[in-house]
Amino acid sequence: MAIRNILNKKDETLHKVCKPVIKFDARLHTLLDDMAETLAKANGVGLAAPQVGILRRLVIIDTYDGTGVHELVNPEILWKSDETQRVQEGCLSCPGEWGYTVRPKKVRFRAQDRNGTWYEQEAEDLFAQAVCHELDHLDGVLFLEKVVEFIDPKDMEE
């Protein structure tokens, strides 16, 4: 495994739409493992492939709730709750920038695992927020475009 460089918001790669993953092989497994190691070292909740320079539809999420790292390959949101949550958000590609976004409280998504098997899962609270944030990356959208109010880092909630 290896630590990958996380691209900064100014990199054009982060503003492009990603292509589907079509090969489920050792290279994909290495990328997912590297992304998990990179995420852990960066102390983040989620990481999308374009953030490490790969324009493919895959993300990893770890909400540190004991369920481990979630790997979402070719993910798509199937349903969003009408109930929303106003949440504090940041991004590993936008260091030092924080803001409040409004995200669905719950989402249902489908994705493939590292071997290509499709599954569906419901997510709520932080996990739902992370799914929405990371899937935005796959469409070239940064959280900064979703912020309803920016936060001065010194005023951050714990």
Contacts of 117 (CB under 8 A, 6+ apart): none
CATH class for the domain made up of 12-155: alpha beta
Element (H, E) at 34: helix 26-42
134 is catalytic: yes
Confidence tier at 136 by pLDDT (50, 70, 90): very high
Q: What is the overall mean pLDDT for the chain?
A: 96
The answer on pLDDT for 158 being more than 60 is: no
Residue 107 CA to residue 133 CA, distance in Å, equals 12
Q: Which pLDDT does position 1 carry in this prediction?
A: 76
Amino acid at 49: A
Q: How many CB atoms lie within 10 A of CB 105?
A: 16
Residue 153 has pLDDT above 90, yes or no: no
- Max distance between CA atoms of the chain, in angstroms, equals 45
Q: Is 8 helix (H, G, I), strand (E, B) or coil?
A: coil
Given 12, 71, 134, 158, which residue is catalytic? 134
Q: Say what percent of the chain tops pLDDT 70.
A: 98
Of 47, 43, 25, 21, give the one whose Cα is nearest residue 34.
47
CA–CA separation, 144 and 94 (whole Å) = 8
Q: pTM here?
A: 0.95
**68-85 pLDDT, tens digit each:** 999 999 999 999 999 999
| Structural domain boundaries in the chain | 12-155
